[in-house]
Chain A
Amino acid sequence: MNERLVLAVPSKGRLMEQTSELLAAAGLQLRKTGHERGYRGEIDGLDGVDVTFISASEIAAHLKTGRAHLGVTGEDLVREHMADADDRVTLVKKLGFGHADVVVAVPLGWIDVRNMADLDRIAQPFRRTHGRWYRVATKYLNTTRRFFAAMGVTDYRLVESLGATEGTPAAGTADLIVDITSTGETLRANGLKILDDGVILKSEANLVVSNTAGWTPCTERTRDEILARLGV
């Protein structure tokens, strides 16, 4: 039986709490099935839904492949996981929480680097002095590559960073970063500033429908019910 709709919900942190609150306010109360610390659940009073609690990043991956029909995750993660996001998924509703900007940030002391064009301008001198391209630390590899290409910056190396990215310039493992920020305070505390045209994406949590999931009349009815209750 493939008739059940899979709804992917963040498994931890503020994002999980705010998602649960939002769904509950719409009359969609999440309930874990089985073990309290398990990762499966249902919606009270709405049949035909399997809730799966996974990380926001995995939710994007599940929506991409169609393992989940519906999910709540950040637009930043959707765009990072899919070059062809607009074909594979539909962002049906901005949820008003999980705000974060994906930005390009360089050391505060780089007063000669105001924007992406300046960043490009210093690429060759940097290489001449240091014998390597400058390194950009990020977990947003695809997003960074696309944005830098669009802005005409090509001479750099990406370094994957899975945490504490803002500390990598001070630690010497990178020269600049692409990361999320909500107020910019953490960046400043780490001696970094956002470039004038360095805001890549203003992201927030979204309700996302997978276009690649196996939709049936039954799962479509369930989807429409959920969307209607959420006022989409």
Chain B
Amino acid sequence: MAAETAKKFEALERQAQTLMGVFVAAGHEAVAPSMIQPADVFLDVVGETLRARTYVFTDHNGDELCLRPDLTVPTCRLHLERHPEGNVAAKYCYNGPAFRFQPQGAASTHPREFRQAGIEAFAAGDRETADAETVATIIKAMKAAGLGAFKLRIGDLGLFSALLTASQMPERWRTLLTHQFWRPDAFRAELKRLVSSQAEALQGIPAELVRSLDPAEPDDAENTVGRYLERRGIELVGARSVSEITASLLDIVADGRGVPLPRQTADVIETYLQVRAPADAATARIEDLLRGKGVDITPALDTFDRRLALLADAGVDLAHTEFSAEFGRSLEYYTGFVFEIAVPGLGPTSPVAGGGRYDSLMHAAGAQKDVAAVGAAIHTERLLAAIEGANR
């Protein structure tokens, strides 16, 4: 237990009661999802990266289980148990431990056991309203617990998606860049590859296939690849079929024959990702950047502005809120609005709270379709440390 003394534990519990009181008053139902979770769902949603930070174990039946690394996925699962499609509006709140392996060794700022208090809102009617309410409720709860100064940082992955959609490029490149978004280095490398000569793309692909494959004739292509494998006596092992391999080869061939991504498009994307501005100045900055570039993301910016207005109505000081275009790149399940709250004293790598929108998580966890979902959690030990530090 991170609270090593009974006194500290009591202080944390008292604080949690205050937080939960605010959450419940805001219409969230208090729930207590299981600490032990099936590993499958977590690993499928978060991939092997978070797996390396998750305590995974095998029980006596050979089932793979894990200690929950956060409470968001368990709360989604709890909601899906009640409503298999997940598409019934519901608001939940929770307070309890989560567990993460700390590769650099456990430390007081990065303990392997920590307590999270948080909220989730599923299938809410209006996304921006739910986003703003989430931020407002979290701030209200932390203030009720005694938090003074803090710094709010926001981002919006919806703007980035809109920028890609509005930029001229083949759909497969959009998919690729979206996929790489979470890894800044790989993303930069990918952009660089797309603007440079595409001849390299064909290296290592058998010349006869490069000559004979035509992206305009996918059916012929599959036969060509099938015959190629057969002639060489290559028996295909595993689940991947000739048609999957062909589709992927056609992408490579199309890259090799096509024109590279215009330098200007890559520049716009890279410049956008560097935007950092006070939230109330962000829209103007982005509009400036895109003017005359033939890239129109007005609907996404309108959505962004509407959310800002709702945040301002809820009492958020936009002039002192930072917008960062790149923010949100660290956790793959976010899909739209993201935010984080830091306090002076604890530093930027130890935010006291954070959250955002993750509309595809419910689908990954078993629902047939995506379900609107937004949530946030407070790192309660850090919050307590911040409040005690400020009072000292």
Contacts and interface: CB of A to CB of B under 8 A. Distances in A.
Nearest to A114: B204
Contact of B44 (A107, A123, A133): A133
Contacts of B180: 152
Interface string A99-129: 0000000011111111100001111111001
Given A124-B179, A169-B237, A133 B47 contact: yes
A191 interface: yes
Interface of B: 43-44, 47-49, 51-52, 103, 175-176, 179-180, 182-183, 185-186, 203-206, 209, 225, 228-229, 234-240, 242, 244-245, 247-249, 251-252, 332
B104 to A, nearest CB: 10
A115 B189 CA distance: 15
A154 B179 CA distance: 10
A174 B239 CA distance: 9
A112 B209 CA distance: 11
A111 to B, nearest CB: 7
A125 B235 contact: no
B165 to A, nearest CB: 17
A113 B252 CA distance: 10
Describe B's contact surface by its main secondary structure: helix
Nearest to A109: B236
Interface stretch (A43-51, A73-81, A155-163, A211-219): A155-163
A145 B284 CA distance: 42
A175 B234 contact: no
Interface residues of A, number: 41
Contacts of B186: 120, 152
A146 B209 CA distance: 34
A130 B241 CA distance: 11
B237 A170 contact: yes
Interface in A134-171: 134, 145, 148-149, 152, 154-158, 169-170
Contacts of A134: 239
B248 to A, nearest CB: 4
B47 A130 contact: no
A176 B240 CA distance: 11
B238 A169 contact: yes
Contact of B245 (A111, A154, A191): A111
A121 to B, nearest CB: 7
A80 to B, nearest CB: 14
A83 B103 contact: yes
Contacts of B236: 107, 109, 191
A110 B240 contact: yes
B352 to A, nearest CB: 27
A172 interface: yes
Nearest to B205: A111
B248 A121 contact: yes
Contacts of B234: 108-109, 191
Nearest to B182: A154
A196 B44 contact: no
A3 to B, nearest CB: 31
Contacts of A124: 175, 179
Contacts of A154: 47-49, 182-183, 332
Contacts of A113: 248
Nearest to B175: A124
Nearest to B247: A125
A125 B172 CA distance: 11
A229 interface: no
B248 A175 contact: no
B183 A191 contact: no
A125 B237 contact: no
Contacts of B205: 111-112, 114
Contacts of B235: 109, 191
A111 B209 contact: yes
A154 B182 CA distance: 10
A124 to B, nearest CB: 6
B52 A145 contact: yes
Contacts of B245: 109-112
B185 A152 contact: yes
A132 interface: yes
